[in-house]
Amino acid sequence: MPRDLPPWIYDRRRDLGDRIRQRRRSAHLTQEGLAELTGIDRRTLQRIEVGTSDPPYSSLLLIAHALAVPVGDL
């Protein structure tokens, strides 16, 4: 059952997605390439990047590892 979240949550999700996209592009990776490195479905990565997904911490750890950045930089 979906719940209403405060607007700032959606803003933070978009910010997170923007930072991941910037890091991915800086690493010259496509979403498909990052998906292969992390084992996360490409569609899930796309939803994370646009801010419509609430990724689990383990996914953020996998993404950070694949991009060779500390998770805090995401």
* Count of other CB atoms within 10 angstroms of residue 68: 8
- Is 17 a domain residue? no
- Is 53 a domain residue? yes
CATH code of 38's domain = 1.10.260.40
User: Which of 36, 34, 39 lies closest to 17, judged by CA?
Assistant: 34
Show the tokens assigned to 14. Answer: 């978009």
Tally of domains within the chain: 1
pLDDT band at 70 (very low <50, low <70, confident <90, very high): very high
Domain of 61, in residue numbers: 26-73
pLDDT tens by residue, 7-61? 999 999 999 999 999 999 999 999 999 999 999 999 999 999 999 999 999 999 9
- Is 18 a domain residue? no
Q: Name the pTM for this structure.
A: 0.91
- Is 62 a domain residue? yes
Residue 2: pLDDT above 80? no
Phi, psi at 51, each rounded to 5°: 85, 15
- Is 63 a domain residue? yes
- Is 19 a domain residue? no
- Is 21 a domain residue? no
- Is 20 a domain residue? no
- Are 37 and 66 a contacting pair, CB within 8 Å? yes
